[in-house]
């Protein structure tokens, strides 16, 4: 329990005194003093005492503290791995956690709402989604919070959102059936911007190419870096979002956000310690083909 309390705090923060720790943990002062000494001897934490101010955390080994405090592997829930951006993000996060010896595993959930529910129900510790979706869901779910918002392009690369159809734009029906995935806040927003007041057909985002080929819908918004789907070979035609509609999109739509439970101090502390700049650097290596995804 002492290890957990240290893990939850940042270097530079004051550690609760022995009396406060006794109250919080419910054990004797001798037990607490022994635990603090062992943690320091094992090089899991460096403490410094300041006269009349208390004891402060100088350094901590978050991987060692995570292990000794009995924490389970850190679960990260990602969007379905249909793009190089998502695969790169998973690889970058896995690398960063491995560097700190934090055991982790990655699961995938369709739609930002499902991913936020996984955090709210403590099935996962971190959810990756767009900043646009994160801001909307955190407003509706007060037990969640956004830990960090990454740079534009970390969720969708610039210019990667396109329109896909079986026929050229000028050959579309007057009132085309537009595929829409209502489980994805992003896809709903993108679709309604590009095709307002149209005949929407419910389609899972991952099944949009098949839905077009099978005649379920006529056109849909898609993502050009989707993996394993050669649109040209499937005789599907693509074009960019209209210039005016593309200008309506904000950076929130293209920026990845890390969402956690508001009261999960341990996960917050781990994310505070990892380098998100390095996560983005690894992501770019995957997107550019310089590195294979691994998570």
At 187-202, the pLDDT tens digits run: 999 999 999 988 999 9
CA distance linking residue 129 with residue 248, whole number of Å: 20
Task: Give pLDDT tens digits for 20-59.
Answer: 888 888 888 889 999 999 999 999 999 998 888 889 999 9
For residue 231, pLDDT over 60 is answered with no
* pLDDT for res 233: 52
Percent of the chain with pLDDT over 90: 77
For the chain, helix (H) and strand (E) counts, in that order, are: 13, 13
Task: Count the neighbouring beta carbons within 10 Å of the beta carbon of residue 41.
Answer: 8
Question: Domains of the chain (ranges plus CATH)?
Answer: 2-68 (1.10.10.10), 74-154+253-287 (3.40.190.10), 161-250 (3.40.190.10)
Sign of dihedral through CA atoms 240, 243, 244, 248? positive
Dist. CA 43–CA 10, nearest whole Å: 16
Question: Do residues 219 and 175 touch, judged by C-beta distance below 8 A?
Answer: no
0.85 exceeded by the pTM? Answer: yes
198: left (phi over 0), alpha (psi -120 to 50) or beta: beta
Report the C-alpha dihedral over residues 185, 190, 191, 194, rounded to 10 degrees: 160
Give per-residue pLDDT as tens, 128-177. Answer: 999 999 999 999 999 999 999 999 999 998 888 899 999 999 999 999 99
């Amino acid at each position: 329990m002492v290890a957990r309390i240290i893990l939850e705090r940042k270097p530079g923060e004051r550690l609760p005194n022995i009396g406060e720790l006794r109250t919080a943990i419910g054990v004797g002062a001798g037990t607490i003093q022994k635990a603090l000494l062992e943690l320091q001897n094992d090089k899991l934490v460096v403490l410094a005492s300041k006269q009349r101010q208390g004891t402060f955390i100088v350094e901590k080994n978050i991987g060692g503290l995570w292990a000794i405090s009995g924490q389970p592997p850190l679960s990260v829930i990602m969007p379905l791995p249909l793009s190089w951006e998502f695969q790169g993000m998973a690889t970058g996060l896995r690398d960063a956690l491995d560097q700190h010896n934090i055991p982790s595993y990655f699961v995938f959930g369709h739609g930002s709402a499902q991913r936020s529910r996984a955090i709210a129900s403590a099935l996962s510790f971190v959810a990756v989604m767009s900043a646009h979706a994160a801001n909307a869901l955190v407003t509706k779910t007060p037990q969640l919070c956004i830990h960090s918002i990454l740079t534009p392009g970390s969720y969708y690369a610039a210019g990667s959102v396109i329109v896909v159809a079986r026929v050229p734009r000028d050959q579309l029906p007057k009132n085309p059936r537009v595929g829409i995935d209502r489980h994805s806040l992003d896809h709903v927003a993108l679709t309604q911007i590009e095709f307002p007041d149209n005949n929407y057909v419910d389609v899972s985002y991952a099944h949009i190419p098949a839905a077009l080929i099978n005649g379920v819908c006529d056109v849909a918004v898609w993502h050009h870096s989707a993996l394993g789907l050669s649109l040209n070979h499937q005789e599907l035609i693509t074009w960019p979002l209209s210039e005016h509609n593309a200008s309506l999109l904000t950076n929130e739509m293209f920026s990845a956000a890390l969402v956690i439970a508001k009261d999960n101090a341990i996960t917050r502390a781990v994310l505070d310690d990892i380098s998100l700049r390095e996560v983005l650097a690894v992501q770019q290596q995957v997107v550019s083909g310089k590195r294979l995804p691994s998570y």
